[in-house]
Structure 1
Amino acid sequence: MIGAEAVGWQVGGARILEDVSLTVGAGELVGIIGPNGAGKSSLVNVLSGVTRPSTGRVTLGGADVSRASATRRSRLGLARSFQTSALFDGLTAGENVRLAVQGSGPSPASPFRRAASVAAGRVEALLERVGMGGAAGTLARDLSHGGRRTLELAMALASEPRALLLDEPMAGVSAEDVDGLTAVIGEVRDSGVAVAMVEHHMHVVLGLADRVAVLHHGSLLAVGRPDEVTADERVQQAYLGEAL
């Protein structure tokens, strides 16, 4: 479980987040939506430890991790993806996952530790889990954008996280790849992982999310079941009348 309790984040005189309280339980997927500039990625950064909250606290598994580094939170069971790809393009899919497994082990990754010492079975299992079992030998740069995002998800799962933060996992993914990636994310949630996902593809959010949280001007506008949130007039106004 991961949560924010009355979290605020201020940069200079600008309030980016204000009094945000949101909890994601084990085996639950919460979709985080909102207009551009609403503070969605900022919230993910605070939850993951990239930035520290100015006020409030962040909890992971019931423990206060507000001052813990991103690395420490990772060791405690938190994983995340980013809006932009973070792959080694000159390595194969299998080698990328192998490095992720190596870095998530009990000892920190070291350039002097042989990558071959990481069990091949673990790498294969992660690729199979995300539907990329046949792509282990493909260079990351040769994957489709959807394949790259899926590979990043496999790498995030290398640490066997209790909580997973996804920042626009469908960004740039072609229509034919969306369903496959959606299914993988659903499987991760169903395995008992707490998943918080920022996403602009509303059909993905509404199809996957157990609850939806709407951010607007850095504050929570609404939280509830997808049908409740889409029927909320305040939410519709925040989206300038666009159908959700």
Structure 2
Amino acid sequence: MISATGVGWKVGGAQILHDVSLTVGTGELLGIIGPNGAGKSSLVNILSGVTRPSSGRITVQDRDVTRSSATARARMGLARSFQTSALFDGLTAGENVRLAVQAAGPAPFSPFRAAGPASGRRVDDLLARVRMPGRGATLARDLSHGDRRKLELAMALASSPSTLLLDEPMAGVSAEDVDGLTEIIGEVRDSGVAVAMVEHHMHVVLGLADRVAVLHHGELLAVGAPAEVTSDERVQQAYLGEAL
């Protein structure tokens, strides 16, 4: 569904990513791990079109999108979340999702266009999907950090994406919310969506991922099944510190 081939990214004289090649297939969850500064978020930005690589090629469903904008990739079925919350805090949870639903619709987007009954049903369905039924009237600013993360997932899912990129979706949430988010993301993957997820919670990655990719100093150190990767001596020395 999405692939990176020989991707490199240089800022000034600093090589942030070097010759990274990865693929994510339909209904597969690829966990992306590595030490801070390894280039994980930079890779997600390149995959989503926020940043253009210095070298290499990005394809979405076998179409070359290396020079395509983030908007064009979104129209092709790519959605993502960010490390920091990106919500309209003065709007309700339902209004945030409604804007995402309208933006994904076929008509030219206008935040002032009245939402029809179908849009309202879609909002309710998305909130229920992320375990927030009946929370549509709550202002986004009044939600817990965990619920804000769930709301961001609902907004990302509003476009019915075929590929979902998640950049540390569990960052800063409570243990209870981690379990809930893990369950939701697993259900998204099981529905056939290709998921690439950057995450520091190792138990989440090992429990969810079909494959794990390890970045170190901007290079792909290892990629494979979770058990295979965590038993790799190079990975243990670079990141994990000991066998899991």
TM-score by length of 1: 0.97
**2:171 counterpart letter in structure 1:** A
| Structure 1 runs of 4+ with >3 Å offset | 115-118
Aligned to 1:222: 222
Give the superposition deviation at 1:112.
3.6
Aligned to 2:178: 178
Aligned to 2:153: 153
Unaligned runs of 5+ in 1: none
Aligned to 1:123: 123
Verify: 1:9 aligned to 2:9, yes or no.
Answer: yes
In the alignment, is the contact (CA less than 8 A) between 1:8 and 1:20 conserved in 2? yes
Unaligned runs of 5+ in 2: none
Counterpart of 1:227 in 2: which secondary structure?
helix
Alignment of 1:78-89 (within 5 A): 78-89=78-89
Deviation digits for residues 28-83 of structure 1 (CA, Å, limit 9, x no counterpart): 00000000000000000000000011111001011100000000000000000000
Verify: 1:190 aligned to 2:187, yes or no.
Answer: no
Aligned to 1:71: 71
Counterpart of 1:180 in 2: which secondary structure?
helix
| Inter-partner Cα distance in structure 2 for 1:224 and 1:212 | 6
| Inter-partner Cα distance in structure 2 for 1:126 and 1:75 | 19
Alignment of 1:162-177 (within 5 A): 162-177=162-177
| Inter-partner Cα distance in structure 1 for 2:37 and 2:185 | 25
Say how many residue pairs are matched. 244
| Inter-partner Cα distance in structure 2 for 1:117 and 1:45 | 35
Give the superposition deviation at 1:95.
0.7
Aligned to 2:47: 47
Counterpart of 2:212 in 1: which secondary structure?
strand
In the alignment, is the contact (CA less than 8 A) between 1:102 and 1:118 conserved in 2? no
| Inter-partner Cα distance in structure 1 for 2:231 and 2:131 | 35
**1:161 counterpart letter in structure 2:** P
CA separation of 1:111 and 1:123: change in aligned 2, threshold 3 A = closer
Percent sequence identity over aligned pairs: 80
Deviation digits for residues 101-125 of structure 1 (CA, Å, limit 9, x no counterpart): 0111113322442245762111111
CA separation of 1:240 and 1:24: change in aligned 2, threshold 3 A = closer
| Inter-partner Cα distance in structure 1 for 2:32 and 2:195 | 10
In the alignment, is the contact (CA less than 8 A) between 1:31 and 1:211 conserved in 2? yes
Aligned to 2:61: 61
In the alignment, is the contact (CA less than 8 A) between 1:10 and 1:17 conserved in 2? yes
In the alignment, is the contact (CA less than 8 A) between 1:98 and 1:118 conserved in 2? no
Counterpart of 1:47 in 2: which secondary structure?
helix
Deviation digits for residues 120-163 of structure 1 (CA, Å, limit 9, x no counterpart): 11111111111111211111111111100000000000000010
In the alignment, is the contact (CA less than 8 A) between 2:94 and 2:136 conserved in 1? yes
In the alignment, is the contact (CA less than 8 A) between 1:99 and 1:115 conserved in 2? no
